[in-house]
Amino acid sequence: MVTNYMEIRMKPIVTWVVLANARFAKVVAHRGPGKGLAPVRGQTWNSPEANAPKDKAGVGHSIAGPGMAAVEQTDPQDISDARFAKTVIDQVAKAHVEKRFDRLILIAGPRILGLLREILDTSLRAVLLGEMPKELSNQPLSAVEIHLGELIAI
């Protein structure tokens, strides 16, 4: 049996690009050379405001008696950023299980990129095509495409 290659439709390789900063993240998709980038519906997130500490920073009451003792203060912003990164990666992982994309690229400022990278599970690491420590989440897609040219054919 001879197969006509024009009849065979190959599924395009879909690459999701996560663009994130500490307050906002979104996913754009690339469906092959010449196709550009397109926003992915339902894949945008806003980080909630960090809760300010209620006690004086670095000070707590001593259990040894009257007086004050120094304690390490956890930065609420660090906690908020870590939770936000987890929310983003959890949703991207869910979409990967649903086979909505084949490859992944992370683009975020260095700090958030580190948080996102820490949370990646093995299945997402396996499809991670690359990452860029750049803040491009608020840039137009045409500017993002210029930077992505380093990793994929746009």
- In sign, the C-alpha dihedral spanning 123, 26, 105, 38 is positive
pLDDT over 70 at 34, yes or no: yes
pLDDT over 90 at 8, yes or no: no
Supply the pLDDT for residue 65: 59
pLDDT over 60 at 68, yes or no: no
In this predicted model, which residue has the larger pLDDT, 51 or 2? 51
- In sign, the C-alpha dihedral spanning 103, 82, 46, 110 is negative
Distance of alpha carbon 139 from alpha carbon 32, whole angstroms:
21
pLDDT over 60 at 62, yes or no: no
Contact between 92 and 119 under an 8 Å Cβ cutoff? The reply is: no
Residues contacting residue 53 through CB under 8 Å, at least 6 positions apart: 73, 76
Domains along the sequence of the chain with CATH: 15-45+72-148 (3.30.420.60)
Segment 69-87 mean pLDDT: 78
Task: Tell me the pLDDT band of 50, cut-offs 50, 70 and 90.
Answer: low
Residues contacting residue 127 through CB under 8 Å, at least 6 positions apart: 96, 101, 102, 103, 104
Q: Which of 88, 125, 100 is nearest to 14 (CA)?
A: 100
Task: Tell me the pLDDT band of 10, cut-offs 50, 70 and 90.
Answer: confident
